[in-house]
Structure 1
């Protein structure tokens, strides 16, 4: 049984969740979705591994499907209908308010998004946490929170439970560091998505040939063949460090993300029960100062090729930031 737990922030500060969360995106946002029963077993395995009274933090999205519709939520609806005993053992966060691949945080859009999410989820589970997927720079924070320019400003208007940002050895820059520091000061949880660089750092993806045709990761700069080839030496060095600790490279990176602060909750994705358990075990791993430095030195030595960018129009890129 996994013992490491943490408290959420804001209005959910009474909720205890596992130290490592569970992202569901790649169960359904693939050209060929993962078989549903396999998804169910992956979710159940994580919940069953947690101490009594601890919830599994699940992360879904209104648009987590190839058609940008509610396929992920519909899958979850069937999960909760089949396994009602797991409803209250999960804390469900759902991202929404995206239209035409750009954020729309108008009052009407936010309301429609929440209603659409709940409709797709069905009657068995209510949303525990709603997240506007990105900041809509056209809508003042005051308007959005009463019906995020900065985390601090948003929190003065309404208590913020969590902020979701990308954090991994490949994505740990000044902005991430500032958000983590501010969240710690304000008692807000940081949900750190893609701690494994969208799977690349785990070592299973070495070239474009390892992805399904149409995989959304082809949109990202770091999944261009030349960049993947250039980043393989980093993965190999991390694998060597992980081997010296008798853990997997995935566990090494998840533990590294968790080490960035007690408020930081790594959010790896998993569609296999064995991988879910492997990820959760990373919450038990403590890296000492020399190991943290060695990992940072590996990144500094090789330099990460490519950036976090994806194929958006200039207007969409402006809104996504």
Structure 2
């Protein structure tokens, strides 16, 4: 199945089974040229059959100094290509303090965040879904989601999502207002009890799972073998799994997945995306891409079908993988993960 259906307050929306993450187009010292980013976005949308939207994922803080460069770029895209607006489903993460990564789910800040995104979009594209990037431990969830529910009621946003939450938090939020999608990290090197619980709870409640980093932030492509392969200023240089002492150990899973992909005649990125997609009809892999050819490759991963024997091979590699290093520096609590 190369599509899935989102349950939104205004009705069902059919989207491509592979979403498109826009973060690394702008979350760097020098954002990509518009022409490059626009070509990548167009390639994804153009790959969708008639009537199927491409799920685009951006962020209020995906810019230098945690600024709004990402939203501004998205606005410029739809200004230049207005005919693409109805062919895309735009999801935006926000809810942190302005120009900061500190979660702030207070009524005042959630309103500020949504309004800031709407201001930068300039009416060029509807804000189809908004989600607070992290749960604020100092504000009741009901307050944050209550504010978003009012925005939905007013027609300023189309639906509500959640991000980096446990299954029980997702269900708690779903009681405040129907949640359309939940975003969590899922990949062959990041699939444990928390992911399994969220995927199950989401399926039982008609909630889509937006599975970010399905190719391990590029590591599972096999093209990153050392820190020299990651540009200066790239945030992956700070992540534990990409440190030299861990990277060489972690490459073992890459080699095993590459062997299966080669046998099947696909890339290792497509294999990872296809495996994440196989976790359920409601699971949308969300790979990031800043180049048109890579976007097309990623979308192709959503069309890959495994035989039961092939899937068993991939699952065996994943289940027996011994990974070195956590996915973020610091503890889950300090990083506001699985809140």
Q: TM above 0.5, one fold?
A: yes
**More displaced 10-residue stretch of structure 1: 161-170 or 276-285:** 276-285
1:196 corresponds to: 215
Alignment of 1:69 with 2:67, yes or no, is yes
Deviation at 1:21, TM superposition (A): 0.3
Q: Show structure 1 runs of 5+ residues with no match.
A: none
2:115 corresponds to: 115
Q: Deviations over 1:156-183 (max 9, x none)?
A: 1211000000000111010000000000
2:318 corresponds to: 299
Deviation at 1:220, TM superposition (A): 1.2
Deviation at 1:35, TM superposition (A): 2.0
- Match of 1:93, SS? strand
Q: Separation in 1 of the partners of 2:337 and 2:266? A: 39
Cα RMSD for the two superposed structures: 1.8
Provide closer, same or farther for how the CA distance between residues 13 and 248 of structure 1 changes in structure 2, counting only shifts above 3 A: farther
Contact preservation (8 Å) 2:135, 2:336: no
2:57 corresponds to: 59
1:216 corresponds to: 235
1:187 corresponds to: 206
**More displaced 10-residue stretch of structure 1: 94-103 or 178-187:** 94-103
Provide closer, same or farther for how the CA distance between residues 240 and 315 of structure 1 changes in structure 2, counting only shifts above 3 A: closer
Provide closer, same or farther for how the CA distance between residues 259 and 79 of structure 1 changes in structure 2, counting only shifts above 3 A: same
Q: Separation in 1 of the partners of 2:51 and 2:92? A: 22
TM-score normalised by structure 1 residue count: 0.94
Q: Separation in 2 of the partners of 1:225 and 1:13? A: 48
Higher relative contact order (CA 8 A, sep 6+): 1
Provide closer, same or farther for how the CA distance between residues 302 and 150 of structure 1 changes in structure 2, counting only shifts above 3 A: closer
1:169 corresponds to: 188
- Match of 2:220, SS? coil
1:5 corresponds to: 3
Q: Show structure 2 runs of 5+ residues with no match.
A: 148-161, 163-167
Contact preservation (8 Å) 2:82, 2:124: yes
Q: Separation in 1 of the partners of 2:303 and 2:338? A: 34
Q: Separation in 1 of the partners of 2:317 and 2:295? A: 26
